Amino acid sequence: MNDMTNRRKFLKGGAIAGAAAVGTLAAPSIAKAEPTTLKMQAAWGGGIFLENAKAYVDRVHAMAGKDLKIDLLAVNSVVKTSQMQDAVHRGVLDAAHYVPAYWYSKSKTASLFGTGPCFGWSSQEVLGWCHYGGGMELFNELMDGLGLNVVSFFNSPMPAQPLGWFKEQINDASQMSGLKYRTVGLAADVLLEMGMSVVQLPGGEIQPAMKSGLIDAAEYNNPTADRDFGMQDVSKDYHLASFHQSQEFFEVTFNKKKFNALPAEHQAILRHASEAESSNFYWHNTSQYAVDLVKLQEESGVRVHRTPDSVMKEQLKAWDIVIDRISAEDPFFAKVVASQKAYAKDVMNYLNLNQPDYKLAYKHYFG
């Protein structure tokens, strides 16, 4: 190869490199879209439920990276808990983390999605009905009927809520008659049927109300939250097991217009993060509840009782009265109840036949 050939190759290569450089310099700069930030208010000022809300947000962030952020706000940051659903509807908030019972005054049917009657099922099966038994379709129909501009996802199947804290051990349903008792949602209707005087209070007001004598007895949700509220300082008799709220879960709700404007992949992340959080909640919370129940007993001298079957049978009778009364007043309520019963009848038939007696195995090993 002679010098002239080398010179031609050099010039040709330089021309190509120069053209590439010019092309690079001339390429227009592409502006990167700003990340979307959603303002979500939680119904929780602290404690394990705020941890749960944060766990949901963390899952969204892990999947969405820098493109989608949720700004999690504590209770009452923008509006009161009772106003959260309306705030999301109006776009004052982009999202909320709470439970359906907190807005049941708008429609008692709302309580069927989380705090309704027990048809022999737990929170896990109610969520199964929501996803595979037509429950979400009915919920969306309810939202449309109420004219609410929201999209909701349910997650975090809660264990049955304790009957709660009393000034003495409850051995018979007659002891509950006339007691001023705190609960929420349809449970209020049920316990009224049992002769109780029901007061609906936010969680943070329960302990002071019992301490001052405004109420005689109360329930909130679980041993961890109850311990955080200091219920062990105003009562020593704690009753576990009840049908007043034997299944409940969180509702994560978004402004519908805001949600529909998101890219499909972001909508999917918000939905699937909710599903993923269901598993994390159950594993994490049941473990913590067990630890705190032992602390209540061993460190605070709390006497833990299992609610007598006679009391729970009276609760079921009261549920029947409440269901029949509201169904006669509200055809849509009756429609949801019928759907739930159909699902529970088949699913619980299988589970009841298939599940071994876990209590028998527990007694075998632990007495």
pLDDT in tens, 311-346: 999 999 999 999 999 999 999 999 999 999 999 999
Look-up: residue for tokens 């499909």? 264
Terminal C-alpha separation, the chain: 95
Give the pLDDT confidence of 18-40 residue by residue, as tens digits. 444 444 444 454 545 688 999 99
How confident is residue 179, by pLDDT bands cut at 50, 70 and 90? Answer: very high
Whether residue 156 contacts residue 252, with contact meaning beta carbons closer than 8 Å, is answered with: no
Give the pLDDT confidence of 135-153 residue by residue, as tens digits. 999 999 999 999 999 999 9
The one-character DSSP state at 45 is S
Give the pLDDT confidence of 38-72 residue by residue, as tens digits. 999 999 989 999 999 999 999 999 999 999 999 99
- pTM of the shown model: 0.87
Tell me what pLDDT residue 23 has: 44
Summary mean pLDDT of the chain: 91
Residue 8 to residue 6: CA distance in whole angstroms: 5
Give the rounded percent of residues in the chain with a pLDDT score beyond 70: 91
Tell me what pLDDT residue 106 has: 87
- The alpha carbon torsion through 143, 144, 145, 148 (nearest 10 deg) reads 60
Tell me what pLDDT residue 12 has: 46
Q: What domains lie within the chain, and their CATH numbers? A: 36-157+247-287 (3.40.190.170), 164-246+301-366 (3.40.190.10)
Give the pLDDT confidence of 285-298 residue by residue, as tens digits. 999 999 999 999 99
